[in-house]
Structure 1
Amino acid sequence: MGNIQSVCVYCGASVRADQIYKDAAVRMGEVLAKAGLQVIFGGGKLGLMGLVADNAMANGARVIGIIPKLLENFEGAHPSLSELHIVDTMHTRKKKMSELADAFIVLPGGFGTLDELFEILTWRQLQMHDKPVIIVNVNGYWDPLRKLIHNIIEQNFAPTGHALFATFVDSPDEVLDILENGIESRLKEPSVG
């Protein structure tokens, strides 16, 4: 996998998500573990977050959770991680996750997932990192986001090349190909019709 040894997964904590998204989270944990990658995530036990962690650990991965005190009290930290960091704020959490990760994977999620994604894309725009960002577009969940990114570019709020800051794939099984092939694989970004 080259320089990539640790991958941060952003995803939702909702327990009400449809089964297709839960299945994708289960598969993502399996895929990353079987590739020998360490998993960094938000530290929660609920929803897609918990499923990614559980299935990564069940398949032998080291899993590190980072959760702010507020969410530890509200949602609960995952009880059996390889390592758990309880931090003071959401900002500290996102910074720590980005420092530990060599790449970022985005599964379906809500406002928190969008916040994490947009911050890491903004940091990429500001040349604070050049790590891969892979958006797993399960069931077309992120289609509106893809259109929004293209609209931002078409309306001249970002240069054309910024579309390559994130790569969209349709399933967890496609993630490893992107990680293995680096920038060349990201240049295959399909156009939005």
Structure 2
Amino acid sequence: MTSYGQMPNIRGQMARAEKTSDRVKPRRASVKPAEPGAPAVGRKEISPEVAKGSVRIYGRYRGSQATKTEAERNLSFIIFYTCDSVDTELVRLHAIRRGLPVSFVDEIVQSGAITLGEVNELILPKRTLSRRRQAGTLTPDQSDKLARVARVVAKAEKTFGNKEKARRWLRRPTAPLNNEEPLKLLDTEAGARMVEDLLVRIDHGIAA
């Protein structure tokens, strides 16, 4: 048997536990960015403040790996989806200038949006990609190419409302583009603008 002097102070423990629970604030459920290639309908865009914070964290990494991972997720959300606000476009610009993570190349390939062969043609050669893996980031020029391809793929998916239909269209010779495959025009910004203009026309029922 436990003597009176050895009995635990249950009342004191409960009081301390109650005070601790008062100090702990419940964690807010974060909205996880949808995977690249997922329908844009109904998604919730992250706030400009979170986006800008993610660029700062990633560009000058300090803190835990979990924090860096969350920053990369937010950057991924901006790069791989069509974000119409000025704030998110500025965040996209700053992220590109600092260099996007090489993991974003793997992400867009795994999503099925483009193949490694198309990465080789449109963004950077395979050998260069292997070297960039050691650095961990793409150069600003390579980042710009990746973001451009992602931007047009996202716009095509939004226009057609079906990612598979959009991806087939991007690889099919199209009369309004002089029978060029839209995807192959994404190696330049001028070509990307031509494809985007055509997508706008399709969205308004002007072109097929």
**Higher strand residue share:** 1
TM superposition score normalised by structure 1: 0.31
Higher relative contact order (CA closer than 8 Å, sequence separation 6+): 1
TM superposition score normalised by structure 2: 0.30
Of structures 1 and 2, the larger Rg is shown by 2
**Higher helix residue share:** 2
